[in-house]
Structure 1
């Protein structure tokens, strides 16, 4: 197979995405409109005249060397990862280097391990187990990891699972072939109790466009949980861009109790996959379980839309009961889904000297941030 990589229009890219069952929302043309601080392009892989693969490339320039860029394909590209990767990624590297990229960063949407909810709960209870990777798992995707390493790609996966890129470990709820009753039965007792408690308390979940109201609660959540919130303009841009592609691509869910907003969440859907992308909750009235009500509403809508998977996005791989991060996986494991490890993000240096300079710049910037804290 001889493949050629060349630019494609946003319309061609979107048509390709619509023909796929599983594509990350980070690989849709709309995502380029969200990440306005990056220069972007859509690239297509052609086998003769047939478009057989596509990728959204975000270009980040090097400070003081703006003619060189880091070419980033988050959770992509959309290619046959079971095929000959030389044939797929070789033309990509040649094309991007010729157009000024000093390195490529990509995140293959390839699983390398899964753990059931039961395994995760047992691991947390076992003091000898501290990480997901201490548990047995069906190993998949090893050939992709081996090929990347052999071809000179460098892993960028932080040990705790979270870094500047997208998470290597996620928590996902399988939906294919299941009913609402099946999914509810698969949840743990606490989740089922909380969903019932929210309904009994009169929590109402609606969808709408009250982004300013959501953002106010999101900022409140950020202050409480100590993370840096995104500005309102970011969400306004995201909703506008994604709805141009598909009216139902993105939805805002709001949970109210006696007229007060107690929780809100954002769900994104592409093809057969849905994602819980952002969430917010009030410190008050937590006993009415608005967050569980939002999650159940999103899961039900994902089921109704025929989705195969509902992703609760990133987790850390820790199972150490004394680690403060373990609460994240404990909340998500209650859905009865599974923890998933992906290949993670990898870099291919195309201009090693520039790549090293970029790495130095990032380390210095991180050091400055830490000193300001």
Structure 2
């Protein structure tokens, strides 16, 4: 299997092809994501049967972060590579990747394989909450055999799962537990009936109160960012991103493909009360970031936004609507559980992905740098 640099055009064409779409690429593996990540070098790589062939079988966006004071790099493939993880001969494409990264000066690599590991249906999780309980304490509705096999193959090749057994929410840069609503083969009526009574009541309330949901533009990003700051203070989290980050993201993703990133707004009496971002790649749609005001929450703008976004994802033929990260706690007394409870009301599934996996790239010097890099990250 040949691996080498590819142009953004060839990379994008593969993602849009039936073969690429079947691999379920995420937005963090789009070429445009390299323009979003400030402070990283980027490489676009592709696998093929020979150097002269234009037919690709997989692609990878690699982000490279230089270790201070050296000419060595930490290589990161967020939620990637986009490859056939069902291939039992994983070495046929993984070994060329590691050889390339070693030659590019990388001392270690982290990646996020795409297969799911376990799933919990919303209906099952609502019945098993309790003090101190976490997702790992609850019998999964489904254990994915492919995810299990990939985990075993990676461990056998010296890879380490960054977040351990997933009993905490630390260790992975991207969320290991996400919430997904399957859309394939379902009607709008199916999606509506999948919502719990509270969600349906809140959406009806928003309609009655005259909440208007529209698709905004880059001009409303400052208002989205202002509301995000309010949300962070209210809910006790900190994303640590600037307005320039979201403006860069919006510009880069939509330059690559118009409409790839959208900003949805919920207005009431002429005022924007909530704003959510949505990203589309192939057959997948993500609700990425949500923000809302502290006042007039009784008119339920966020529920109205989500129903519109879910309906729009269904209308364009998406296979899944991904609401991104959820905490691993199922203890109602924990503050973080509120986010999980809100998403459970849509009737989807909590999906535990394989998470992120890491390994040094051989040799005493790289091993030493890897340990030093881990210590550096722990001090930040």
Q: TM-score, normalised by structure 2?
A: 0.92
Contact residue 170 and residue 314 of structure 1 kept, 8 A: yes
**CA shift at 1:139, angstroms?**
1.6
Q: Please state if 1:197 is matched with 2:194.
A: no
Residues 1:227 and 1:326: Cα distance change in structure 2 (over 3 Å): closer
Distance 1:153 1:53 in 2: 21
Q: Which of 51, 71, 77 in structure 2 is aligned with 1:73?
A: 77
Number of residue pairs matched by the alignment: 361
Give the equivalent residue in structure 1 for 2:190.
182
Describe the SS at the equivalent of 1:152: coil
Give the equivalent residue in structure 2 for 1:16.
14
Q: TM-score, normalised by structure 1?
A: 0.94
Give the equivalent residue in structure 2 for 1:290.
301
Residues 1:332 and 1:15: Cα distance change in structure 2 (over 3 Å): same
Distance 2:204 2:170 in 1: 33
Residues 1:271 and 1:85: Cα distance change in structure 2 (over 3 Å): same
Q: Which of 52, 57, 63 in structure 2 is aligned with 1:58?
A: 63
Residues 1:321 and 1:222: Cα distance change in structure 2 (over 3 Å): closer
Q: Please state if 1:263 is matched with 2:265.
A: no
Give the equivalent residue in structure 1 for 2:116.
111
Give the equivalent residue in structure 2 for 1:26.
28
Distance 2:31 2:252 in 1: 9
Q: Give the stretch that moved more between structures: 159-168 or 210-219.
A: 159-168
**CA shift at 1:177, angstroms?**
1.1
Describe the SS at the equivalent of 1:205: strand
Distance 1:312 1:25 in 2: 13
Contact residue 172 and residue 355 of structure 2 kept, 8 A: no
Residues 1:297 and 1:168: Cα distance change in structure 2 (over 3 Å): same
Distance 2:265 2:359 in 1: 42
Residues 1:100 and 1:128: Cα distance change in structure 2 (over 3 Å): closer
Q: Please state if 1:358 is matched with 2:360.
A: no
Give the equivalent residue in structure 2 for 1:121.
126
Distance 1:223 1:106 in 2: 31
Q: Please state if 1:93 is matched with 2:101.
A: no
Describe the SS at the equivalent of 1:306: coil
Describe the SS at the equivalent of 2:128: helix
Distance 2:138 2:189 in 1: 32
Superposition RMSD on alpha carbons, in Å?
Answer: 1.4
Structure 2 gap ranges (5+): none
Distance 2:215 2:376 in 1: 43
Distance 2:340 2:155 in 1: 29
Give the equivalent residue in structure 2 for 1:215.
225
